[in-house]
Chain A
């Protein structure tokens, strides 16, 4: 488990969260586009 006390620990958590937000945010947007472009 990563603790959240020091700046480096916090920034490790921020970095991982940034990746998930960007990647899965784009994935969700694509899933919505897939439904939207249904013919």
Chain B
């Protein structure tokens, strides 16, 4: 079977089937979000939560993947160049997914805040650390895009390790400090939580956006590996011409 990683042609049939499954799950998740009972205080506005919550939770996973891949890259870079290249490609892919999922979290959060609070933004601990997370990974991508140094991968790997420090601070901020951002819905106070009739919409959206995220992460990784192979082939051809 052709793997996505090694494929040089069109997307393999199994990968296309995977994305069809993703779209089917996203459609069901959307239907669940639209048909969940209307919330007593906020009305339909609370439905934004069904998209905001999965993206916010999953946006904390991708930076850890990026950090893990960066550590493996630093570990392998001298003795196992092929493994290091794979780790580097995975780090790039997970950094882009971090920016994407944090962007969605920020966009849905600010739009909800404007309607619920009357303000787009508040400089509280959660929102500030979340914005910082976004800025850190945008700078990671910019660094990789603009740096002409041969050490770009090493420098960005070090940045990725330091950037990951922001994740637990951001995650715990609504537990450690009083914030404008609402207290945790799950795993917070004993009286926190949502009605059981709304849980299927939460879990369907969590699963559907996780499945979609895993799919585009794999696709982005495969694209980066293709670029690495093309660059290596170009460098080899240049060396042969010079010799």
Contact = CB atoms under 8 A, between A and B. Distances in A.
Q: Is the interface of A mostly helix, strand, loop or mixed?
A: helix
A39 B222 CA distance: 12
A12 B230 CA distance: 44
Interface residues of A, number: 22
B222 A18 contact: no
Interface string A25-39: 011001001100111
Interface of B: 8-9, 11, 34, 42-45, 47-48, 51-52, 55, 96, 100, 103-104, 107-108, 111-112, 114-116, 212, 216, 219-220, 222-223, 226-227, 229-230
Given A26-B100, A27-B216, A37-B223, A8 B43 contact: yes
Given A11-B112, A12-B44, A15-B51, A22 B226 contact: no
Given A23-B212, A30-B219, A37-B227, A12 B9 contact: no
B51 A30 contact: no
A11 B107 contact: no
B8 A38 contact: yes
8 contacts: A10-B115, A11-B48, A11-B111, A15-B107, A23-B212, A33-B223, A34-B223, A39-B229
A27 B112 CA distance: 24
A27 B212 CA distance: 10
Contacts of A11: 45, 48, 111-112, 114-115
A38 B219 contact: no
A27 B53 CA distance: 20
Contacts of B222: 34
B8 A12 contact: no
A9 B46 CA distance: 10
B104 A8 contact: no
Given A8-B45, A18-B108, A39-B229, 17 more contacts: A8-B43, A9-B43, A10-B115, A11-B111, A12-B115, A15-B48, A15-B111, A18-B104, A19-B55, A22-B100, A22-B104, A23-B212, A26-B216, A30-B216, A34-B219, A34-B223, A38-B8
